A and B are shown apart, each in its own frame.
Chain A
Amino acid sequence: MKIAIFKFASCSGCQLELLNLEEELLEIAGKVEIAYFVEASRKLMKGPYDISLVEGSVSTPEQLEELHKIREESKYLIAIGSCATAGGIQALRNWAQLEEYKKIVYLNPEWIKTLEKSTPLSEHVKVDFEIRGCPINRKQLLWVLSQIIVGREPFLPTHSLCIQCKIKGYTCVLVTRGEPCLGPVVMAGCGALCPSFQRPCYACYGPSDLPQTIKLAQQFTEKGLSKKDISLLFKKCESWTPKFKEVVEKYE
């Protein structure tokens, strides 16, 4: 079994999680062939690949072209991280005028060749599985790989973060402190990392399978948050997912 790891517009944090697996990574390397992993090895093998893990959003014409090539060469294409699954923090530019943005950021904006929007892989090709998060949870990555290696269809929970918080026994920051926690509409999977430090969830895992984002935004209004605060809460690395978009459009 050949695994390849690719990167588009992203910070490499998700690949780093793969490297952070350390001992387990060696175990994975013993089970499968790591055929393409620029960040870890100079030995780069050509496709086809059995599993391709793709980090990053599609942001440039070259990336779009490469994505199609990866799709053709991969039996199993897995999008990893919020850039690849939702467009990432850089999808904030989707809410602005591209040309104006370029002028603000770059000295010579005419040198920049980019797509109009930063988008998730699934907008362009068929994605077989998604692992959410910014960054991904390496335990989830390990679980998904283990499932594929033994020949199972990968599976991850898709319910709300609240359920994970309660299973782990973390006290609700929304109810006890009135913190604007997005947990009720966010997919579990991180292990309730922020609430475990009594901090509200800021939704790097994106929407759950039943996300009542507009209703949660109304709750925040009742708690006294301004429209701007609410739109900013939903306008982070998951702003381009349809259910979050709804809130941003309504409250911005």
Chain B
Amino acid sequence: MKSIIMMGTENELRTLFDKFKGKATIIGPKIPNGEIAIRYCELNDYSEIPREVEDDQEPGKYKLMQGKFFRHGFDSPKKYMFPSTLKIIRVEKELEVKPYNYDPKETVFFAIKPCDAAAIKIMDKTFTWNKDAYYNAQRGKITIIVENCIKPGKTCFCATMGTGPRATENFDIAYTKINGKVLFEAGSIKGEKILMEIEVLKPASNEVIIEFIKVMDEAYEKAKAPFTTINLPEKLEINIANENLWKELSEKCLGCGNCTMVCPTCFCFDIYDESHLDEHVDRVRYWDSCFTYRYAEVARGHFRPEIWAMYRQWILHKFSYWKKQFNILGCVGCGRCITWCPAGIDLRENVKKASIGV
């Protein structure tokens, strides 16, 4: 939707936050006591959002330090949209089946980054396609307030994936902090209505908009990967049978599954029937990963036992199969899989290598 860029200060950002207080669960960035990473948590007050802190991210490394702008930690809105552990049904000894009640609350994602808003759009495709009742129950009750990313991190590549550093879709309100000012724009009718209620906001002057464009353009240049998405599915699939290539790319891969766990769009789950002594069973859904051995285990065999083949599946799923199935790539360029990989494998380098061959 077309919207006017409005200008205010941090006071208006606080006003915006307070509008949701008491009406919805507000989820946003926070550094809980004793934590050494930014986490998405329930926020009670605007002041809980970290200040004067920056996350230094590199392949396999994450460190909090003094600074002006932070990106994100390892968790994403996924954990609220698609909980890592979810009790689904209870089966009594007499085989009576009782579904567990799932009643998600009205939720506001506040100060999430454009990559995370884009990830919700991708999850929408997968979870709508498979008619996931749990996801969709939550989906109908969310508001997305995005903070545009004026300083992408060293593992970010949202510009390449077309998801940032400025949010362009799938948000209600986006804001940008620039030199003491805060610029607001609406991304939905709902967002527009909320902004209209904050009377102090005025349309930004051309000078301010020029400043905004400059900051966002600079950020864009910092969030590029060494590949483009043009014809990417074909470029990758042409190498599908090049076993040596995939072996080389996955040479350091530990098969630990961290990349899939921290990915804001990875949606795989497994279902366990947990027996209890009183002979009732709980059917529980847990996050699963294509990097576990049992994932591709089937009756009488295994169709993908080697790590290089798992790695190939993961890359091709994100950058090719997803496009074919949902007409969208499965990666938002948040860089979490690079930062949180214990072996520091750089996905950007590997996609580049895989798309031109070695």
Quick check: A167 and B292 within 8 Å, CB to CB?
no
- Minimum C-beta distance from B290 to chain A (A): 11
* Structural contact, A159 and B292, CB atoms closer than 8 A: yes
Assess whether B307 is interfacial by the CB under 8 Å rule: yes
- For the complex formed, measure the closest distance between the CB of B303 and the CB atoms of chain A, giving whole angstroms: 15
With A143-B275, A176-B37 as contacts: A184 and B256 at CB distance below 8 Å: yes
Complex Cα distance, B284 from A155, in Å, reads 14
A63 within 8 Å of B (CB atoms): no
A167 to B86, CA, bound (A): 11
Whether B292 and A166, one on each chain, are in contact in the complex, defined by CB atoms closer than 8 angstroms, is no
Chain A residues with CB under 8 A of B299: none
B253 touching A166, Cβ below 8 Å? no
* Inter-chain contact A176/B261, CB cutoff 8 Å: no
Residue of B nearest to A145 (CB): B277
Which residues of chain A in 188-214 are interfacial with respect to chain B, using CB atoms and an 8 Å cutoff? 198, 208-210, 212
Cβ contact of B84, chosen from A159, A167, A175, A198, cutoff 8 A = A167
**Do the beta carbons of B258 and A166 come within 8 Å of each other?**
yes
Q: In the assembled complex, which residues on chain B have CB atoms less than 8 Å from the CB atom of A212?
A: 253-255, 307
Residues of chain B in range 10-41 having any CB-CB distance to chain A below 8 Å: 34-37, 39
Q: Which of A152, A158, A168, A178 contacts B293 (CB 8 A)?
A: A158
Instruction: Tally chain A residues at the interface, Cβ within 8 Å.
Output: 43
Is A219's CB under 8 angstroms from B262's CB? no
One of A24-32, A40-48, A76-84, A126-134 contacting the partner: A24-32
Q: Are B35 and A167 in contact (CB under 8 A)?
A: no
Instruction: Give the interface centre of B257, B293, B294, B341 by most chain A CB atoms within 10 Å.
Output: B257
How many inter-chain residue pairs (CB < 8 Å) link A and B? 128
Given A166-B287, A171-B37, A175-B61; A160-B292 close (CB under 8 Å): yes
Bound complex: CA A12 to CA B115 (Å): 51
Complex Cα spacing A152 to B275, Å: 9
Q: How far does the alpha carbon of A60 sit from the alpha carbon of B254 in the complex, in Å?
A: 37
Could you say which interface size class chain B belongs to? 35 or more
Q: Mark B247-288, 1 if CB is under 8 A from A, else 0.
A: 000001111111001100000000010111111010000110
Question: What is the 8 Å Cβ interface bit string for chain A, positions 149-181, against chain B (1 contact, 0 not)?
Answer: 110100101111011001111011011111001
- Chain A, interface SS category: helix
Q: How long is the Cα–Cα vector from A215 to B257 in the complex, in angstroms? A: 15
Q: How far is the CA of A185 from the CA of B343 in the complex (A)?
A: 12
Shortest CB-to-CB span from B33 to chain A, Å, is 12
CB–CB A147/B275 < 8 A: yes
- Among candidates B73, B254, B276, B341, residue contacting A146 with C-beta atoms closer than 8 Å: B276
Interface residues of B (CB under 8 A from A): 34-37, 39, 60-63, 73-75, 79, 84-85, 252-258, 261-262, 272, 274-279, 281, 286-287, 289, 291-294, 307, 339-344
**Which residues of A come within 8 Å of B, CB atoms?**
24, 27-28, 31, 142-143, 145-147, 149-150, 152, 155, 157-160, 162-163, 166-169, 171-172, 174-178, 181, 183-185, 198, 208-210, 212, 215-216, 218-219
15 more A-B residue pairs beyond the given contacts A146-B277, A150-B275, A215-B253, with a C-beta to C-beta distance below 8 A: A27-B277, A150-B279, A158-B294, A159-B292, A163-B257, A166-B261, A171-B36, A172-B62, A175-B61, A175-B342, A183-B342, A184-B342, A209-B292, A210-B291, A212-B254
